[in-house]
Structures are given as C-alpha cells and as structure tokens.
Structure 1
Amino acid sequence: MGRTYFGTDGIRGRANGRKLNAAIAMKVGQAAGRHFLRGAHKHRVVIGKDTRLSGYMMENALVAGFTSVGMDVIMTGPLPTPAVALLTREMRADIGVMISASHNPYEDNGIKLFGPDGFKLSDEDEEAIEAAMAVEQPLAEGDAIGRARRIEDARGRYIHAVKQSLPEDVRLDGLKIVVDCANGAAYNVTPTAIWELGAEVVAMGVEPNGLNINDGVGSTALDAIQQRVVDEGADLGIALDGDADRLIVIDEKGQKVDGDQIMALIGSRWAKDGKLRGGGVVATVMSNLGLERFLAGEGLELVRTKVGDRYVLEAMKAGGYNVGGEQSGHMILLDHATTGDGTVAALQVLAALVRSGKPASEMLHLFDPVPQLLKNVRYEGGDPLEAPSVQKVIAAANGELDGKGRLVIRKSGTEPLIRVMAEGDDEAQVNRLVDEICAAVEAAA
C-alpha cells in the first residue's frame, strides 16, 4: 500500500503542518496502541523526546492517544533515541516512541516507533498502523483507560548503560574531548557519561531553548566544533545530531571523520579482537567505495542496503552481523544497542584512541575515500525520475562509469528531494556526471 505518513525513519514533517500535528499524533497513539494491545498483561508505552518546542504538544497528544485505548504511558522527558529503545526493552514496555526530527531544524518534528524488543518497527507494522489511522479506533472505557506518569531517573539509567559499553580496562583520563550535543536530546547525558569515565569535557550545544536544536551546532553543522577542537587543543571532537543517534568525529587537527571511517575503525578493530560477527560490516549504498576496498583488504565483506538505518539493521539481524551504519554517522553496534547510538559509538572510538596511543588524525584515517559527490534537487510533485529525458542521462552516466565507479539516485524518504550521488576514481568525471543528472532532474521537475 502507499504511505501517507511513514517514511524511511518514522513520521517526519513540519510541526502543526498537514502531515504532523496534534490530531495526527493522537491518531498515531491510538492506532499504534491498539496494534500492540496483545496478551492479557497491563500494556505500557515509553515516550521520549528531544528539545524542540513542539515536543510538548506532540507528547501530550500521544499520551492522549495511547491512554484513550488503554495503554499506560511512561514519559522520560528529553532523552536520546537509543535511550528510548533501551528503556522500552528494559521496562518490558509494548512499544517505545521517540518524538524527534533528528537533524532537521526546530520547526520540524517526527515520531519514531520501537517494538517491545527495542528495535524499530518493520514495514509491515508501520503499514498496519497507518491503515489503522484511517479508521476510528475502539476506545477504552472506565478503569481500562490508561494512566500516565513521568520517571525522573531515565537519564541516569542511560548514562549507566552507555558506560558499560566501554571496555573495563579503558579509562579516559588525560583526554580532552569536545562534545557537541546540537542543543538536542543528549545535552545532559553524553557530556556527563564521558566526564564520569575520566575525560576532560568541553561541552557545546548544551543550552537548548526549544528553538536552537541543530542551529549552527551538531553533526550537520561542523564549523563550530572543528574550530573549537583546534582552539582548545583537544584530542577529539564528538558531534551528535538532535536525537543523538548519529555521530561525526573531529580529529585533533579539526578534520571531519565520517561514518565510513568510523565503521572501518570499529569493524577492523573488532575483527582483530575476535568480536566481529558475520565476517564484515553492513552499510548503505551511500557508503564510499574506499570503505569497501579497505574492508576487502582486511578480509572482510561490505554488505550494502538501501538508505535508512532500519534497513541496515534488518540486514544485520538477518546475516548475523554486529557492526553496521551509515556514512552520515548512524552507527549500530548490536553488542551494545538495538539502534543507532552516537554516544556508544563515540566510546568505541575513544577506546581505540586510548589503546593505540596514536593521534586521532592517524588512527581514524584508514583509507582514502574515492571522489564522491552528492547533490540534492528539490521538486514539487510528480516523479522526475520517471521522465524519459532523465532516464536517458542516467543511462549514459552508468555507461561512462562502467565498473569504474557507482551511481546512486534516489528520492529522500523524509523531504521532497531527489538525491544524486556519484563516485569514481576520476573526480572531474564524477562532478560532471552529477551536474548533468541534476540539470536533467531540475528540467523535468
């Protein structure tokens, strides 16, 4: 069936817009609640959020929806997405909800759903919930109506959990780390966890006001942390996004280290330590060809999926892998978390830094990326990729690359954008092909 609400990562859109408002959030709560009313036990849902102003509205609407169909609600307040997944499983909840639009600006918001196992929902579950949103749901009556309560120790529980992911023989004493929390969900927990492990922490992006999430800070706005790392003489910078499921690292020289290099580091280190399962790493079609070549040189496989960390996770579970992620910084380490966790991934990088004794710029540069270019083309409606003129240009580009590179063209799952990516050993050719395809898409849009 077609999807009206759910995209590649739950529901996302402009807060109080057509796709996402209080009325729709209440419908999500009712539909998802009814979908997970299974068994005779008392049912409960864990709801967390990031720091957006609209989070209050969305939280209250979801609480109304869930309680109206008979589910008890546990609210955590601002907390990273992986913490909600963790608490859903630990508290034996039937469903978990994270209210966040991740790296988007504050005007947007979103709803991410987790099953009782702490994993994101399958396409089938999301389709069933979306179908249920289109019809009126049976409401609970009398004493079957749900209750709601807020727990005060959610942050402490998550801090304790992420610290357990650091090997017991590793201390962070002597390290100076800049931690940028994007004025988002991790503004309290991540600096605290890293400080408790012994590091000197320089925190930034830790003054949320409801309107400044991802605004000039965080994993999608790196200028500030790159300069801060250099100015502070720090050993490393850690940049998270608004809901802290994504990580970008900055080395001591102020250089960006993306998810591909982080996966190369963790995958190869875990392989040497006998901890890597599946014989390789899972990533998406957007990961650089250089990562694939590096892993092959280590005797490891790179398994590619379509874009979206949930699809990475599905492939990991199906193939028995425990390391996966995205170039954009989602790192899924199934030994420690059921979804992308920027803080857990950062601690693995810090452990490698301590054990290697090398500067971050050396330790985190394991391969030279193949020239790669990604551009986005906004469109208003229709499907520009179906236009014969666009298909002709794409076919010609594929013919030119012919084994010397890759072309990935897709619609964004969260915004009205066509994403055009090419990579290959000839940078000039890559740039030209991307520009030609983008021009064709713009003309057809």
Structure 2
Amino acid sequence: MRKYFGTDGIRGRVGTSPITPEFMLKLGWAAGQVFKEKDKKILIGKDTRVSGYMFESALEAGIVAAGADVRLVGPMPTPAIAYLTRTFRASAGIVISASHNPYTDNGIKFFSAEGGKVSDDIEERIEYYLDQPMEVVESNLIGRAKRIDDAAGRYIEYCKGTFPIGLQLTGLKIVVDCADGATYHVAPRVFSELGADVVAIGIEPDGLNINETSGATKPELLQKTVLEEQADIGVALDGDGDRLILVDRHGVVRDGDDVLYVIAHHLMKTGRFSGGVVGTLMSNFGLELAFSESGIGFSRAAVGDRYVNERLVQHGWSLGGEPSGHIVCRSITTTGDGIIAALQVLLAMIEGGKALDELLTGFVKFPQKLRNIRVEERFVPTEVPALQKAIAIANERLNGLGRVLLRASGTEPLIRVMVEGRDDETVDELIEYLSKEVQAAIPK
C-alpha cells in the first residue's frame, strides 16, 4: 500500500496534509532524487486553480535543491505535459492539478520520459525519499529553472497534426466548454484553426471558478448553449483537459462509453481497427454487448486511465477509456486526451457524413445508477462481511442480467456504489438498498 499516491497521483484539500507547501517542497526534492539525470530536466505544468502558483514554486525549489533542472510551462492540459515531456526529452513531467475537483482541492500527477503515467515502482521510490532527511546538494550543483514560452503553441500544432491533412472542420458549429480550466487557451484554437465555427465557454479562469459551473462534470450549460446556438456538437473538457464529455445536436449528453463506441466502429468501418477495446469496471454492459455483436474484443481494467493504459499495452491494443471521459488513443498519444478524442469523433462524423446521434444509432445502454457516499476514511467495501452479503443479495436479484460494483474512490474520500440492470425499477431499488448498507457499514 502506498502512503500518498492514489489511482491518479496525489490529491486532496489545499492546506490539509499532504496538499501543503511543506509537503510539495519535500515531494519536489524526492522527485529530483528519482528523476535527475545528466543533461535532463523535469517539466512542471498546472491547471488554473489559484493554489497552483504556490505549489509550483515549492516543487521547483525542491527539485533544484536535489540538483535537477526544471522547465516551467504554466497552465497547460495534463495530456500536453505528457506530450511535452516526450518532445523535450525530459526525464519526467509533473502536473499540478486536481482534475475535475473544485478549486479547494489540488494534486500532483507524474509522467515518465515516455509520456505515460509512472509505474507503481516509481511512486514507491518517490515515497521512499519522502521519508528520508532532505539534504541540499552543493551550491555549484543546484539545478536551474527556466520557463518555456511557446508550450501552448507546440501543443496546439500537435493536436492539429493528429487530424488528417486535407480534411477540415469547415461547416461544423462546435461549442467548446473548457471548464475555466487548463484548456481555456488551447482547445478553442485547435478547433477553430481546423476550420470550425467555435463558440467557446468556460474560458475565463480566475483561479476559483475551475469546474464550478461548466465542464465535463457539469454539462448543463453546454447543453443549453448547443441548443441556443443550434450547434452540431458540444465538447466538454474537465479542469485539466484529460476528460471528454459530448453533447449532441439535440442536447443529449454523451459519455465516454459513447465516445468509445463511435471511434471503434468508425475505425472498423474504415479498415483502421485492430485488436479490441479496453474499458473499466464502470463501463456499461451495453457497450460490451455492442462490441461483442460487432466482433470487437473487449476487456475491463480497474478504474483509472493508468490501468486502461496498462491493459492496452498488455493486449497490444490502441483504444480504451472510461465512462467518465478518459479516452486513450494509443496510436496517437500516450494518455487520456480530451481534445484528441474529440477530434477522432469529429473525424467519424465528417468521414461518415452523419451527426453524432446518428453514429450512435443501435447502441443501447443498460440502465445504470451511480451513487457516491462520503466517508471520513476510505475502506474496502468488498472486505466487509455485511457488504459481501448485500452484494450477493443484489446479484441474485439481477439474475445475471446486470452488475453491482462497490469500490473506494482512489482520488476522493468516497465509496462509489454502481448498479446496472435491464430495467430502471430494479436498478433504483438496488441502489437504494446498497447505499443504505454502505452507510450502515461505515466505521464509527
């Protein structure tokens, strides 16, 4: 068990351990010990939350104290840091972000030199140094920090380069919701420079409004704007740009399962698909059935895009993702990227000559309900006898025509309860039953 790292880095409430300046200083030093190499540097990027400035400075101080060099790129999407880490031949990339969480939270994600999430072994090495006394290198060995001024432009050109030469988005009206987060200065430019008529919302970050009223976790404003603007599609990104939720021309929200369905079937129809698709334990059973009927392999990984990535590598496949909107196109990039996934859907619309809702015709999802129950301390629900019994009762009620999942969130103090079945009535009944059982099982 790691002491600080969860399923997606280190995350928590600002000012509460470990999300403090003192910890970030030590974390920077520990990362410097693990990643410092001759003639290499460590990139640091962040989203738009106000605490990012404080933690950026603390991490920078710790890294240079360990004798490693730093390159600062400012507010940039998480997948942009993955890309820039590779292109700058850096030894690691660090993102200061709490993704879809409110501004009162923050966190740290690490990327390897190859642009993927770091392994458990690397996280354990960082935690080892966190428990060691901090020693500053000799003054002549202290690292240096520089700012990269053209980082945004580099990433914009990279995203545009993933779209086929000769094709444009001309004729499409797209509403782009940046959640007042890290994509505010890059996403609208990507789509507009490819020819789309772009209506941008969520592009006025003030350090406090990230994910507040817009973005992938709050698509209501996007739905309203798509209908008002009579747009062809709405694109919602989260605070750090690694999630994608879509809204079709009728104002219907389309999640990560819908995105995977569209991309996979388009690749298959155009002869560019091989292998299968990786989902997670949260992926709708209807997606699994749809892929089975199409002859597309499907495999479930643990929740978290790093686990999706690991399963993709294991199978040698190139497409995977989560209902929450983390979509990994490994033939293009190394991690979940909301902008690039959106471009793949737009490509399917253009080459298929169909609207998003038309591309989803025939895809039927099982009714699914998810409830988050806040706890003081995380615990493993499946290790509690009373909850083991409750799960067994629920599964017996579903009779093989659905799924039950109880798990602890890896990023927040929550127990997530998910029920999936053939009809809404059964799903509603079981979500209430299991939620009450979880409440009763919370350690007092």
Q: Same fold (TM over 0.5)?
A: yes
What's 1:335 paired with?
A: 331
Aligned CA RMSD, in angstroms, stands at: 1.3
Query: What TM-score does the superposition give when structure 2 sets the normalisation length?
Result: 0.97
Write out per-residue CA displacement over residues 358-387 of structure 1, whole angstroms, 9 at most, x where no aligned residue: 222212345111111111111223637244
State the distance in 2 between where 1:249 and 1:20 align: 32
AA of the residue aligned to 1:249: L
Residues 390 and 437 in structure 2, CA contact (< 8 A), matched pair in contact too: yes
2:308 corresponds to = 312
| Letter aligned with residue 154 of structure 1 | A
Q: Please tell me whether residue 173 in structure 1 is matched to residue 154 in structure 2.
A: no
| C-alpha separation in 1, matches of 2:97 and 2:360 | 30
Report the counterpart of residue 270 of structure 1 in structure 2: 267
Alpha carbons 2:378, 2:415 under 8 Å: kept: no
| 1:6-405 paired onto structure 2 within 5 Å | 6-38=5-37, 41-277=38-274, 279-381=275-377, 383=379, 385=381, 386-405=383-402
Q: CA deviation at 1:403?
A: 1.9
Q: Tell me which amino acid in the other structure corresponds to 1:440.
A: E
User: Aligned-pair distance for 1:326?
Assistant: 0.5
Q: Deviations over 1:184-212 (max 9, x none)?
A: 00001010010000001000000000000
The 2-side partners of 1:145 and 1:430 are apart by 59
Q: What is the alpha-carbon distance in structure 1 between the residues aligned to residue 416 and residue 70 of structure 2?
A: 38
Q: Which amino acid aligns with 1:292?
A: E
SS in 2 for 1:179: strand
1:68 CA displacement: 0.5
Determine helix, strand or coil for the equivalent of 1:103: coil
Give the Cα separation in 2 of the matches to 1:382 and 1:169.
Answer: 51
Task: Tell me if the contact between 1:257 and 1:364 (Cα under 8 Å) persists in the aligned partners.
Answer: no
Distance 2:338 2:391 in 1: 35
Structure 2: distance between partners of 1:122 and 1:160:
29
Q: Distance in 2 between matches of 1:126 and 1:399?
A: 40
Partner amino acid, structure 2, of 1:309: D
Matched residue SS, 1:7: coil
Name the CA distance, whole Å, in 2 between partners of 1:381 and 1:220: 24
| Alpha-carbon distance in 2 for matches of 1:324, 1:262 | 10
Instruction: Quote the Cα distance in structure 1 between the aligned partners of 2:357 and 2:325.
Output: 17
Q: What is the CA-CA distance between 1:305 and the residue it aligns to?
A: 0.6
Distance in 2 (alpha carbons) for counterparts of 1:202 and 1:302: 36
Unaligned stretches of 5+ residues in structure 1: none
CA distance in 1, matches of 2:321, 2:385: 34
Matched residue of 1:121: which SS? coil
**Aligned partner of residue 27 in structure 1, secondary structure:** helix
- State the AA in 1 paired with 2:434: I
CA distance in 1, matches of 2:273, 2:328: 13
CA distance in structure 1 between the aligned counterparts of 2:83 and 2:242, rounded to whole angstroms: 13
AA paired with 1:30? Answer: W
Query: How many residue pairs are counted as aligned between the two chains?
Result: 441
Q: How far 1:356 sits from its partner (Å)?
A: 2.0
Alpha-carbon distance in 2 for matches of 1:382, 1:406 = 22
1:302 CA drift (Å): 1.0
> Which stretch of structure 1 is more off in the superposition, 266-275 or 370-379?
266-275
In structure 2, list runs of 5 or more residues that go unmatched.
none
Q: Residue 190 of structure 1 aligns to which amino acid in structure 2?
A: A
TM-score normalised by length of structure 1: 0.97
Would you say the 8 A contact 1:264–1:366 is kept in 2? Answer: no
